[in-house]
Chains A and B, each alone.
Chain A
């Protein structure tokens, strides 16, 4: 067990869920996440009031709604500058919004079971809860109304030392390898990897963190009980056991194209920084990067071959958006540490939950493994290699790859020897397979 911040399952509230809690659960069913109108409403009103307004048959003209329509919403909207179309037409906009939320009213599960915590290990976390990651408050009116969670870790605590590692689904072996390696290293050092649970880089990142027994958080664009992509059902099960699956959408929701883009802002907001491992020119990962940049969060990118279309997006954000070039976990930690380590709960500044107190880190008196690892660089050491292996390693070209026989001739060893040395070097992580045979792995 590494020093990953896994807390026990948060205590299920014994008292019946409060009215506000039920209302927030209901709102996740009614409105698409990131709806700025609802966000603005929730900023000035109680969730139960908002729900009552939606449920009311006609647009009420009471003082509360007047206040929302005339003052609160306009000010709020102007202030954040994101719903500029408000202003004079705010009442009309509110009416339209109420209409679109109301269409889902028939689908709303009835009764207090809506926010039921025990169901399939799924629980609801609201902004009023101790587990709510206050970093999400940076999203302003786009803040999630509530989050549905599945898994054993504590979300707020997990996010206090976290990195989002995202990238293209159409990952190359290089990208998947780098994502896995970086995430494993981050996991070993007690950092939490946040990603989107998709194929390619996302999966490699989650798997890397899981392999290092680290905590990993998958933010989905569908219900936490809806395995999408279906090929990742096992992965999500593993993540639930060791980390968290998080969604703004209520259980049972299906994924949709636009939902991934809405979801990306949560990935960017939850983590202390965002690393793009591989992204094509039109990759969704660039959307996550944009959110991170907008939030003022550190944005990092792993470079790839300049010839690779899969890395073109990474190179663009390095060039145009001022992202930091990172190649290994240590670079990322160096980039983030001043932000996160002093006070993991700094943004937001709400009262700290006892379960997630920062003095739980490092978890015991003994020096944690993370500390030991950061002192001793994990790169394999050439000095330990036998003579043949050293020669074979030297025979590998410094750039590009070479075939088995080419390496054997270059090193002056026979085929059996070269095969054994290549196996050993690959096993130790010096080299890897590429399009043209074997090549050196960069550390």
Chain B
């Protein structure tokens, strides 16, 4: 049969679009034509597929081969169409039954020797396939585990093109000693094989133990910083963005690293979303099932705008803001970041997603993260005071902290100053330190209460509720604002600060299980706010 159809998925951001691949073999000048907006990597598929088919011992039709990818208007990038095109060629050439590929989504890159190589973005692609009614996907063996994360899918794990072709011919699988690719319904059936190579062509980033949650450091280790621990708890429970100010060694980074540990585990939808983003970015650790822990992402302060919010010209990739989706984005030495990089964060902070427009495509990545900023009080990073020798001029200090733009700091609800811990404080704090597990339990309950209260609104966390709405719909208990008003009169706090204190008071009430903030909650929130020298 001279015409065959197979299916694959094109990814735009983390959204998968179904692509139909038609292979037509006709008489004419010998050659292969690829139509339907392929990019360079895809154009090179011709040569890869030719070599792979020949080296797998299959017959290559030396005739005119036309490969059409539709919808033709959708830009198609990447190398993962190889498997679909190769199977299409075999089917069109009559070497495998063309009916066998119906209802199967193909997703894999081919090596010249016929190996099926793993690629990035399998999870969102498989999810898209399932959404379009495909219940079987053929992927590289190394991608099988990731593909299996999508519920209700049957994964055909092909190590080579020969295995794929044998499966299409209906030959028995490895369980029966046959040459065909193995099929799996459940992740438990997968043979856990270590594959030394990373994703083809992509150097894999070092495995981040923090992200997997297995070795998350404990909050109890942050001894002597009870206010800061409380601030972290509030930030986790209410989704409040956090700013940490303090000299080096006070524990800013320690604190930030411990916040994911007290965040609740991601629910299944969120986990799929997060894993998809990391899959597209090629950041998934090997042998990982779903990312169930909130991610922690700490870009270096030399990061570019594209590294933070995402970008790239040919393939648009998610940036740190999206990789920290549903987790923590930690900007250490925040004033050292370029001003435009910091300002680029305003859109995701506002909208919970990043929209990137490039030639050919506009992509949105989800980016709903908790921002944690850490800053030294001055550029020389020496403790202020006459003895310690900070020689920064007042203008230099002002400039340094002034690099954090107002609109960015406006989104920060909890500011905290960390001092170097004295021995006495260390001893006193022993009786108060709590493990991350204890705190996480309170956080989960507080989040549930907030979600229940906000069930009829577009928000789920106290940190997301705008100030105007807060004042109108959720005022604290009557009479609880007396001290707050007095502070406002005395100029200790601004009107904008009052809104933030009330927002934090709601989270404190949620943490304590109270229906609405009492005077005590407002006072505690004020304590957190005034806990920074002005």
- Do A and B originate from a single complex? yes
- In B387-411, the 8 Å CB interface with A consists of 387, 393-395, 398
| A436 with B227, Cβ < 8 A, contacts A420-B520, A427-B487 known | no
Residues of A within 8 A of B523 (CB): 420-421, 423-424, 427
Chain A residues near B132 (CB-CB < 8 A): none
Residues of chain A within 8 A (CB-CB) of B57 are: none
Q: What chain A residues lie within 8 Å of B302 (beta carbons)?
A: none
B424→A406 contact, CB < 8 A: yes
Is B424 a contact partner of A403 (Cβ separation < 8 A)?
yes
A306 to B526, CA, bound (A): 31
Residue in B486, B487, B527, B530 whose CB lies within 8 Å of A420: B527
B528, A419: Cβ atoms closer than 8 Å: yes
Whether a CB of chain A sits under 8 angstroms from the CB of B1 is no
User: Which residues from chain B contact A310 at a C-beta distance below 8 Å?
Assistant: 386
Contact for B425 among A211, A405, A416, CB less than 8 A: A405
Which of A11-19, A38-46, A170-178 is the contact stretch? A170-178
How many chain B residues sit at the interface, stated as a range, is 35 or more
Most buried by A among B384, B393, B532, B533: B533
A409 touches B527 (CB 8 A): no
Using A176-B534, A308-B386 as known contacts, say yes or no to A437 and B230 having CB atoms under 8 A apart.
no
**B512 lies within 8 A of A416 (CB):** yes
- The stretch among B180-188, B261-269, B427-435 that forms the contact with chain A is B427-435
Let me know if B385 and A435 touch, CB within 8 A.
yes
Chain A nearest CB, measured from B490 CB (Å): 6
Contact (Cβ within 8 A) B432 A403: no
Contact A433 B398 (CB under 8 A): no
CB of B530 within 8 A of CB of A423, answer yes
Known: A170-B394, A408-B226. A207 touches B525 (CB 8 A): no
What's the Cα separation between A407 and B385 when bound, in Å?
24
Shortest beta-carbon distance, B420 to chain A, in Å? 9
The answer for the CA separation of A421 and B226 in the assembled complex, in Å, is 15
Chain B CB within 8 A of A169 CB: yes
In contact, A415 and B226 (Cβ under 8 angstroms): yes
Q: Across the interface, do A424 and B526 meet the contact criterion of CB distance under 8 Å? A: yes
Q: Cβ of A423 and Cβ of B524 under 8 Å apart?
A: yes
**B145 interfacial contact with A, CB 8 Å:** no
In the complex, what distance in Å separates the CA atom of A414 from the CA atom of B527?
Answer: 15
A: number of interface residues (CB 8 Å): 45
Q: Which residue of A lies closest to B394 (CB)?
A: A170
B30 within 8 A of A: no
User: Nearest A residue to B487 by beta-carbon distance?
Assistant: A427
CA distance A433 to B227 in the complex (A): 12
User: Distance (Å) between the CB of A209 and the closest chain B CB?
Assistant: 11
CB distance from A250 to the nearest CB of B (A): 27
Kindly state the separation between the CA atoms of A173 and B487 in the bound complex, as whole angstroms.
17
A409 and B429 CA atoms in complex are apart in Å by 8
A432 to chain B, nearest CB (A): 8
Q: Is B484 an interface position by the 8 A CB rule? A: yes
- A329 interface residue, CB < 8 Å from B? no
> Which residue in chain A gives the minimum CB-CB distance to B521?
A420
Contact indicator per residue, chain A 411-433, by CB within 8 Å of chain B (1) or not (0): 00011100111111011110011
List CB contacts (< 8 Å) of A296-316 with chain B. Answer: 307-310
Interface flag for A166 (CB, 8 Å): no
- A 158-169 binary contact with B (CB < 8 Å = 1; else 0): 000000000001
A416 vs B514: C-alpha distance in the bound complex, in angstroms? Answer: 14
A423→B528 contact, CB < 8 A: yes
**Given contacts A200-B394, A403-B226, A433-B533, A426 and B428 within 8 Å (CB-CB):** no
- CB of A211 to closest CB in B, whole Å: 4
What are the residues of chain A within 8 A of B487 when measuring CB–CB? 426-427
Given contacts A180-B491, A405-B226, A405-B432, are A427 and B524 in contact (CB under 8 A)?
no
**Is A101 close to B, CB under 8 A?**
no
A433 & B386 in contact (Cβ 8 Å cutoff): no
Which residues of B sit under 8 angstroms from A207, Cβ to Cβ? 491
A5-30 CB mask vs B (1 if < 8 Å, else 0) is 00000000000000000000000000
In the bound complex, do residue A403 and residue B387 qualify as a contact, i.e. CB atoms below 8 Å apart?
no
Decide if B224 is an interface residue (CB 8 Å cutoff).
Answer: yes
Among A177, A406, A424, A437, the one with the most B-chain Cβ atoms within 10 Å of its Cβ is A424
A436, B422: Cβ atoms closer than 8 Å: yes
Q: What are 9 of the A-B contact pairs (CB < 8 Å)?
A: A404-B425, A405-B432, A406-B424, A415-B230, A419-B230, A420-B521, A424-B527, A426-B530, A427-B492
Interface residues of A (CB under 8 A from B): 169-171, 173, 176-177, 180, 184, 199-200, 207-208, 211, 231, 307-310, 402-406, 408-410, 414-416, 419-424, 426-429, 432-437
